[in-house]
Amino acid sequence: MAELTAVREPSPFGVTSRKLGIWMFIVADAATFAALLFAYGYERVANPDWTRPFSFWPSITNGIVMTVVLLTSSLTIIAAVLAAQAGRKTSALRWLGATMLLGALFAALHLREWIVMIGDGWRPFRNPLGGTPLVGATFFSITGLHLLHVVTGVVVIGVIALGYRRGRFEPGHLETVGLYWHFVDLVWMFVFPLVYLMNMR
Amino acid sequence: MAQGKGGRAVTHGAATGHAPAQSFLRRHVFSVDHKVIGRQYLDLALVAVVTGMVLSWIMRFHLGWPETPVPGLGKLAPTGAAGGVITPEFYLALMTMHGTIMVFFVLTTAPFAGFGNFFLPIHVGAEDMAFPRINMTSFWVTLAAFLVLVSAFFVGDGPPLSGWTAYAPLSAVGKDAGPGQGVGQTLWAVSIAMFCVAQLLGSLNFIATTLDLRTRGMSLARLPFATWAWFITSVIGLVAFAVLMPACILLILDRVAGTSFFIPAGLVISDRLQPHAGGSPLLWQHLFWFFGHPEVYIAILPGFGIVSQILPVFARKPLLGPRVFIVCLIAIAFLSYTVWGHHMFLSGMNPVSATLFSVPTLVITIPATIICLLWIGTLYGARLRFTTAALFALGFVSVFVSGGISGFFLAQPSTDIYLHGTYFVVAHFHFVMGVAAMFGIFAGTYFWFPKMFGRMMNETLGKWHFWLTFIGVYCVFMPMHYLGLAGNVRRYSAFTDDYLQPLIPLHRFITIAALFTGAVQLIFLFNLIRSRLRGPVAPANPWEATTLEWSTSSPPPHDNFGGHPPVVTHGPNEFGGVGPQDYVMQAEPR
C-alpha cells in the first residue's frame, strides 16, 4: 500500500478512510437516534395522560449505576487505545477486556430493569398505570435500540481484540471501535435524562 | 504522504487495491469492482423502470377508459381486476407500487448509485471505492429490498394501497384498512428499511472515496461537477435515509407489535374499533417528509452534475461560474432539510408552521434558479455539437424549468391548499423530479455508454428517441396542470359520475401520449442492446472531454488506470482554448 498512498492527495481531515467511515456512520446513527428521540418528544407532548413510571429507588438509582458503568468503560477503552498506540499489547488487551466486562455489566443491569418492568405489566402496547401506551412503546424502542448498540459493541470489541492479539488488526482498528463506543456512551447521555429522569415520579 | 496528529504518517484507504478476481461468479456477479457494481445498479434500475412504467400504463388506461377491461389483466390479477376492470383498491395498489419503485429503485439507484459507482472512483483517480466489500453489500441489499417489494404482488391480498408516502394511520393499522394493507404493507416497510441501510452504506462509501482517495493533484476544486453532485447527494442521503429507517421500524412495530406510534385513539376502520391509542399520524408525515424532501434532491442533484459535466463538453466552452455551481449545490443540500413541511400544508398543521416552511421553500428556488442560469450562460454564444447526450442535457434544462415554475405556486400555502390534492402536483413532481431525472439518466447513458462498454451508441436512433420522448413527456404532463386547475383530484381511480366527466377527453389524450412515450422507449432499449453487441468500437475519448475517465481505455481496466494512477494538473473545465486541440485534459502534463 505504501507506494499507492504516496500518489494520493492528502485527506482534508488527515484521517484514514476507515476512521472517516466510522465518523460518517456516527453521523447517520446520530440522525437515527435523533429521529427516535424526536418521535418520543412529539408523543410525550401530544399525550396529556403521559405517566411517569420511574421512582428514585430502584429505577433511577439503577440508571445512575448504569451511567457510571458506561462512562467508566469509555475511560477503559481510551486506556486500551493509548496502550496499543504505545505498543503495549498485553496492557491494551487487558483494557479491552475491562471495557467488554463493563459493557456486559451495563447490558445485564439494563436487562434486569426490562425484566422488572415487564413483570410489572409494562408492554410496548400496554401501560399498567392506565395512561397512554406510548410510555412503554417509546421506552422499549429507544432503550432497546441503545441496548442493541451496546451488545453489538461488546461483540465487535471482542472480535477486534482477538484479531489484534493475532496481529491481524492494528491500533487504528482499536481507535475506530473506540469512536463507536464513545458514541454509544454519548447517546446514553441523551437517553438517560430524556427517558429516565424526565419520567421520574 | 499525509501527516496525522503528532506527526504519525497516515495511510489512506483500507484495502482498496484488490487483485482481479478469477472465477466467473466473483468477476461478474459477486464482484467488489465498483464498475461491475455500478452496472448492476443500472441493470436493476432498468428492470425497475420497465416494471414501474407498465404499472403506470395500466393506471392511465383505466383513467381514460374506466369501464373498458384492460386486455389480459383479468388473468394476471383475478382479485384486483376481475374481468380486466380495475377496482378502486387495485388502482391504489398500482399507484403505490409505481411511486415506490420509481422513486426508490429508479430515481435513486440509477443516477446516484449506478453512474456514481461507476464514475466517482475514476473521476477522483482511485482504483476502487474506499470500502469495496461494503459497496458490494449495499448493492445486494438494494436488490433484496426490490425483491421484497415486488413480492407484495404475489402474497396475501396484493400490494399496499397507501401510496409511496405510506401515510398513517392507513399504513399502520393492518388488514382492516383494505386489501394489501396486511402482508403487502409490511413487506413495503421492510423493503424500504432495507433500502435505507443499503443507501446509507453507499453514501458513506461515496463520501470516504471523494475525500480520501483523490489522486495527486486532484484538489477539491478540481473535482468534476458530476462528482461534486454525487458527493453532495451522499451527504444529503447520509442523514435522510438514517431518519426514514427508524420511521419504517416504528411503522413495522405498529403493524406487528401492537404499538401506537402513528395511530390515534378511537379509530374505527371497517366497523372495527382499532385497539390503539395515543399515537399521531402527523408524526409519520414529519418523519417521512424529513426524508422525503431531501430525497427529491437525492434524485435530481446527480442530474445537475451530469448535465453540468455534459453541457461544457458539447458547447466547447467552460461551465459558467463553476464555484457558484458548487456553492449552490451546498446551499440546496442545506436548505433541503428545512422545507419538508411544505408537503404538509393540508395536514392540519399549525398555519404559523406553514408560513415558516413556506419561506425556505421559496428561498431554495434561488440556488436552483442560479444553476439554471449558469447552464444557459454556458450555452450563450456557444457552437453546440448536437449529439444525443447534448440534446438530453438540454431537454433536462427544459423539463426542469417547466416543472420548477409550478413549484413557486405550490410553495405558498394560500395557493397550495387548492392545488395540493389535484393533478397540478402530479404534473409538478413528474416534470421536476421524474422526467428531469430520467433525462439526466438518458444524457448520462448516451454520454458514458462508450466508456462503460467500449462501443458507441447509434446517434440516429438516439436523436429519434430524444425528440419523440421530449414531445411525448410534454404531451403527458403539460395538460395535467390544466386538469389540476380545473379541480381534478388526484389518487382517484375514475371520474365517471361527477362534475369531472367533461375532463375525460383530456385524460384520454394523456393516456394515448403516455402509451406512445412508453413505446418510444423501445427505440432506446433496442439501441442499448444493439450498440452493446454491434456498436462501433469506441476510442478512449470520443467526445473530446477533459475528465479522468476519458484518459483511460474504453472500458477501463480492472484498476481503472492500468497500474499508473494519473497525476492531475488541470481543472475539469478547461475548454475553448485556441490551437489544434481546444481543451486540456485533467491529467495532461503541464
Q: Do B258 and A36 touch (CB under 8 A)?
A: no
How would you classify residue A167: left for phi > 0, otherwise alpha for psi between -120 and 50, otherwise beta? left
B355 to B352, B361, B368, B411: CA distances (angstroms) = 5, 10, 21, 10
ipTM of the complex: 0.95
Q: Tell whether the model's pLDDT for residue B333 goes beyond 90.
A: yes
Mean pLDDT of B417-445: 96
Would you call A45 an interface residue with chain B, using a CB distance cutoff of 8 Å? Answer: no
* pLDDT tens sequence across B519-541: 999 999 999 999 999 999 999 99
DSSP string of B427-444, one letter each residue: HHHIIIIIIHHHHHHHHH
Q: How far is it, in rounded angstroms, from Cα B317 to Cα B518?
A: 34
Q: How far is it, in rounded angstroms, from Cα B69 to Cα B82?
A: 9
Tell me the average pLDDT of chain B. Answer: 92
Q: Do A7 and B215 touch (CB under 8 A)?
A: yes
Q: Which of B312, B329, B328 is nearest to B320 (CA)?
A: B312
- Which of helix, strand or coil describes residue A123? strand
Q: Do A8 and B213 touch (CB under 8 A)?
A: yes
Q: Tell whether the model's pLDDT for residue B11 goes beyond 60.
A: no
Q: How far is it, in rounded angstroms, from Cα B415 to Cα B503?
A: 22
Beta partners for residue B268, in sequence order: B273
Mean pLDDT of B318-324: 95
Q: How far is it, in rounded angstroms, from Cα B153 to Cα B242?
A: 27
Q: What is the CA radius of gyration of chain A?
A: 20
B565 to B13, B125, B128: CA distances (angstroms) = 15, 7, 12
Q: Tell whether the model's pLDDT for residue B176 goes beyond 70.
A: yes
Question: Phi first, then psi: what are they for A28, rounded to 5°?
Answer: -65, -45
Would you call A26 an interface residue with chain B, using a CB distance cutoff of 8 Å? Answer: no
On whether the CB atoms of residues B132 and B61 are closer than 8 A, the answer is: no
Q: Tell whether the model's pLDDT for residue A2 goes beyond 50.
A: no
Q: Do B260 and A7 touch (CB under 8 A)?
A: no
* pLDDT tens sequence across B267-320: 999 999 999 999 999 999 999 999 999 999 999 999 999 999 999 999 999 999
Q: Do A5 and B245 touch (CB under 8 A)?
A: no
Q: Do A8 and B567 touch (CB under 8 A)?
A: no
- The answer to whether the bond into B555 is cis (omega within 30° of 0) is yes
Q: What is the pLDDT of residue A1?
A: 40
A4, A22, A26, A123, best to mutate vs chain B, most B CBs in 10 Å: A4
Q: What is the pLDDT of residue B349?
A: 85
Q: What is the pLDDT of residue A86?
A: 96
Residue B442 CB contacts under 8 Å (≥ 6 apart), including other chains: B392, B465, B466, B469, B524
Q: Please give, rounded to a whole number of angstroms, the shortest distance from the CA of B212 to a CA of chain A.
A: 5
Q: Which of B264, B244, B167, B177 is nearest to A134 (CA)?
A: B264
On whether the CB atoms of residues B109 and B100 are closer than 8 A, the answer is: no
Would you call A25 an interface residue with chain B, using a CB distance cutoff of 8 Å? Answer: yes
Of A32, A123, A134, the CB nearest to B242: A32
Q: Tell whether the model's pLDDT for residue B9 goes beyond 70.
A: no
Would you call A118 an interface residue with chain B, using a CB distance cutoff of 8 Å? Answer: no
Tell me the average pLDDT of chain A. Answer: 94
B12, B204, B255, best to mutate vs chain A, most A CBs in 10 Å: B12
Q: What is the pLDDT of residue B351?
A: 87
Q: Tell whether the model's pLDDT for residue A66 goes beyond 80.
A: yes
Q: Do B14 and A6 touch (CB under 8 A)?
A: no
Cβ neighbour number for residue B405 with a 10 Å cutoff: 14
Residue A80 CB contacts under 8 Å (≥ 6 apart), including other chains: A92, A93, A95, A96, A98, A99, A174, A178
Strand ranges (DSSP E) for B364-482?
none
Q: Which of A75, A81, A61, A34 is nearest to A185 (CA)?
A: A75
B573 to B178, B382, B590: CA distances (angstroms) = 55, 15, 16
Residue B561 CB contacts under 8 Å (≥ 6 apart), including other chains: B125, B127, B551, B552
Q: Please give, rounded to a whole number of angstroms, the shortest distance from the CA of A194 to a CA of chain B.
A: 18
Percent of chain B whose pLDDT exceeds 70: 97
Question: Phi first, then psi: what are they for B2, rounded to 5°?
Answer: -75, 150
Strand ranges (DSSP E) for A56-200?
none
Q: Tell whether the model's pLDDT for residue B173 goes beyond 80.
A: yes
What are the grid coordinates assigned to A50, written together?
A: 403521559
On whether the CB atoms of residues B302 and B230 are closer than 8 A, the answer is: yes
Distance between start and end Cα atoms, chain B: 22
Interface of A with B in 121-180 (CB under 8 A): 123-125, 132-134, 137, 141, 145
Using pLDDT thresholds of 50, 70 and 90, give the confidence band for residue A6: low
* pLDDT tens sequence across B210-220: 999 999 999 99
Q: Do B14 and A141 touch (CB under 8 A)?
A: no
* pLDDT tens sequence across B400-409: 999 999 999 9
B301 to B15, B295, B433: CA distances (angstroms) = 30, 10, 10
- Number of residues that make up chain B: 590
On whether the CB atoms of residues B422 and B483 are closer than 8 A, the answer is: yes
Question: Phi first, then psi: what are they for B128, rounded to 5°?
Answer: -165, -175
Q: What DSSP state is assigned to residue B312?
A: H
Q: How far is it, in rounded angstroms, from Cα B330 to Cα B334?
A: 6
Kindly identify which residue of chain B lies nearest to residue A140, measuring between CA atoms. Answer: B259
Q: How far is it, in rounded angstroms, from Cα A109 to Cα B348?
A: 43
Kindly identify which residue of chain A lies nearest to residue B285, measuring between CA atoms. Answer: A39
On whether the CB atoms of residues A32 and B246 are closer than 8 A, the answer is: yes
Long-range contacts of B262-267 (CB under 8 A, 24+ apart): B262/B168, B262/B169, B262/B171, B262/B172, B263/B168, B263/B169, B263/B172, B263/B173, B264/B169, B267/B169, B267/B173
Q: Please give, rounded to a whole number of angstroms, the shortest distance from the CA of A15 to a CA of chain B.
A: 7
* pLDDT tens sequence across A106-151: 999 999 999 999 999 999 999 999 899 999 999 999 999 999 999 9
What type of residue sits at position B63? Answer: L
Mean pLDDT of A15-29: 93
Kindly identify which residue of chain A lies nearest to residue B275, measuring between CA atoms. Answer: A125
Q: How far is it, in rounded angstroms, from Cα B230 to Cα B223?
A: 11
B1, B3, B10, B336, best to mutate vs chain A, most A CBs in 10 Å: B10
DSSP string of B201-266, one letter each residue: HHHHHHHHHHHH-PBTT--GGGS-HHHHHHHHHHHHHHHHHHHHHHHHHHHHHHHHT---SS--TT
Q: What is the pLDDT of residue B6?
A: 34
Residue B446 CB contacts under 8 Å (≥ 6 apart), including other chains: B387, B388, B389, B392, B457, B462
Q: How far is it, in rounded angstroms, from Cα B258 to Cα B173?
A: 9
Least confident stretch, B329-333, B414-418, B456-460: B414-418
Domain positions in chain B are 388-453+457-535
Q: Tell whether the model's pLDDT for residue B494 goes beyond 70.
A: yes
Kindly identify which residue of chain A lies nearest to residue B252, measuring between CA atoms. Answer: A141
- Which of helix, strand or coil describes residue B179? coil
Residue B321 CB contacts under 8 Å (≥ 6 apart), including other chains: B374, B377
Fold observed for domain A18-44+59-199:
Four Helix Bundle (Hemerythrin (Met), subunit A) (1.20.120)
Q: How far is it, in rounded angstroms, from Cα B316 to Cα B404?
A: 27
Q: Do B4 and A36 touch (CB under 8 A)?
A: no
Alpha-carbon B453 to chain mean position? 23
Beta partners for residue A54, in sequence order: A200
Using pLDDT thresholds of 50, 70 and 90, give the confidence band for residue B563: confident
Question: What dihedral do alpha carbons B471, B475, B476, B481 form, nearest 10°?
Answer: 130
Using pLDDT thresholds of 50, 70 and 90, give the confidence band for residue B15: very low
Beta partners for residue A200, in sequence order: A54
Q: How far is it, in rounded angstroms, from Cα A99 to Cα B475?
A: 65
* pLDDT tens sequence across B232-271: 999 999 999 999 999 999 999 999 999 999 999 999 999 9
Q: Which residue has the higher pLDDT, B16 or B88?
A: B88
Of A20, A36, A49, the CB nearest to B208: A20
What are the grid coordinates assigned to B226, written together?
A: 458530476
Q: Tell whether the model's pLDDT for residue B357 goes beyond 60.
A: yes
* pLDDT tens sequence across A74-89: 999 999 999 999 999 9
Domain positions in chain A are 18-44+59-199
Question: Phi first, then psi: what are they for A8, rounded to 5°?
Answer: -95, 155
